[in-house]
Amino acid sequence: MGKLYGKVAIVTGAGGGLGRAHALGLAAEGAKVVVNDLGGKRDGSGEGHSMADGVVAEIKAAGGQAVAHYGSVTSEADAADMVATAVKTFGRLDILINNAGILRDRTFKKMTHEEWDAVINVHLRGTYLVTRAAWDQMLAQGQGGRVINTSSTSGLIGNFGQANYGAAKAGIAGFTRVLALEGMKAGITVNTLAPAAFSRMTEDIMQEGQAERFAPDKVSPVVVWLCTDEAKDVNGRQFCVGGNRISLLSWQVLVIGEHNPKAAPWTVDEVDAAMKATREQWPRLLKPMEV
Ligand code: NAI
């Protein structure tokens, strides 16, 4: 019996790339899957049914259970309908993988409001809207749940030309950390995934030769594991996963100086001295491909 037998999952943006791999991986472990995809282009324009339908057909051909959903994560009604589809078709909802995404890369100097808004809308607001609907359902069921939110090293570390995308992805990581605290009592874990995979989103950044090394299905086993009972105590974490490498991204704290809280405030000169005295101990800034 699969590790996720009896569980029901929604994967947004599951018509291709990472979402497809996650949906196939979850189904292979016995989960019933709502395969959501708007079916548009990489920049978010257009829509269609063939992407979601194709992945549903693949899951069924492998002996699994799945249903297509063609709505947009940017629509409150579609988000509610995604959850309603899970409940109507499979009776419940245990797992939400927020994965849908678009790109509108541009240096900040040239970025338009439209490019900013479109990316924030799909990634940050889309993650919020679908989680909003799923959260209520998971709480009503009273049996916990799993939410995995897709961030990026672009948001966690930084990447040139992606101010809109990096802001959205950092927002998703912050959203995740708060929900991890709020879901704990109800047994709902919320974790962040920062993937690296060769997909239509990255095909012009990664070289052709990296397609196999960074195949999307090298990320999905971590997503599937996070949904199993083995990971019930893993909450509020950030996993960077790609090319068969799994990293946990966390924080280090360096106390730069401390005065008695009852004493007078630090002077700017004292701050300057403390900064300079510790500067060599500051952790160096990471580069995107390092994690
Ligand atoms: P992709 O372009 O193959 O997949 C994104 C999917 O989301 C597409 O199938 C698209 O149709 C769907 N989608 C777009 N807007 C939607 C909407 N409004 N409603 C529903 N579905 C929508 O790209 P990929 O690489 O598979 O990306 C998946 C996620 O992983 C994204 O959130 C992306 O930002 C993130 N990511 C990917 C990285 C990579 O190396 N491929 C690196 C870091 C993050």
The predicted-structure confidence for 230-253, as pLDDT tens digits, reads as follows 999 999 999 999 999 999 999 889
42 lines ligand 1 (CB under 6 A): yes
Mean pLDDT along residues 53-60: 98
Whose CA is closest to atom 3 on ligand 1?
Answer: 17
**What integer pLDDT is reported at residue 289 of this predicted model?**
79
In a domain, residue 289? The reply is no
Q: From ligand 1's centre to the CA of 56, what distance in Å?
A: 17
**What is the value of pTM for the model shown?**
0.97
Task: Please give the number of the atom of ligand 1 that sits closest to the Cα of 193.
Answer: 44
In a domain, 143, yes or no: yes
CA distance 23 to 30: 11
pLDDT tier, 209 (very low <50, low <70, confident <90, very high otherwise): confident
Mean pLDDT score of the chain: 97
Could you tell me if residue 288 is inside a domain?
A: no
Residue nearest to atom 40 of ligand 1 (CA): 196
Q: Is residue 3 in some structural domain?
A: no
pLDDT tens per residue, range 103-126: 999 999 999 999 999 999 999 999
| Beta carbons within 10 angstroms of residue 71's beta carbon | 20
pLDDT in tens, 257-273: 999 999 999 999 999 99
Say if 286 falls within a structural domain. no
Q: Tell me the residue length of the chain.
A: 291
258 found inside a domain: yes
Judged against a pLDDT cut of 90, whether residue 75 lies above it is answered with yes
CATH of the domain at 22: 3.40.50.720
Ligand 1 centre to CA of 46 (Å) is: 14
Q: Which token pair is 116?
A: 């900013």
Domain containing 246: what range? 8-281
What is the chain written as a DSSP string? --TTTT-EEEETTTTSHHHHHHHHHHHHTT-EEEEE-----TTS----SHHHHHHHHHHHHTT--EEEE---TT-HHHHHHHHHHHHHHHS---EEEE-------B-TTT--HHHHHHHHIIIIIHHHHHHHHHHHHHHHHTS-EEEEEE--HHHHT--TTBHHHHHHHHHHHHHHHHHHHHHGGGTEEEEEEEEE--STTTTTTS-TTHHHHT-GGGTHHHHHHHTSGGGTT--S-EEEEETTEEEE------------TTSPPPPHHHHHHHHHHHGGGSPPPPPGGG-
Q: In which residue are the tokens 């890369």 written?
A: 105
Task: Evaluate whether residue 109 is within a structural domain.
Answer: yes
pLDDT for residue 208 is more than 80: no
100 lines ligand 1 (CB under 6 A): yes
> Is 70 annotated as catalytic?
no
The domain tally of the chain equals 1
User: Ligand 1: which of 12, 55, 103, 199 to mutate, most ligand atoms within 8 Å of CB?
Assistant: 199
Percent of the chain at pLDDT exceeding 90: 94
Q: What is the mean pLDDT of residues 192-200?
A: 97
Confirm whether 234 is domain-assigned: yes
Say how far apart CA 81 and CA 75 lie, in whole Å.
10
> Which of 18, 104, 193 gets mutated to test ligand 1 (max ligand atoms within 8 A of its CB)?
18
In this structure, which residue's CA is closest to atom 19 in ligand 1? 72
Tokens matching residue 209: 């030769």
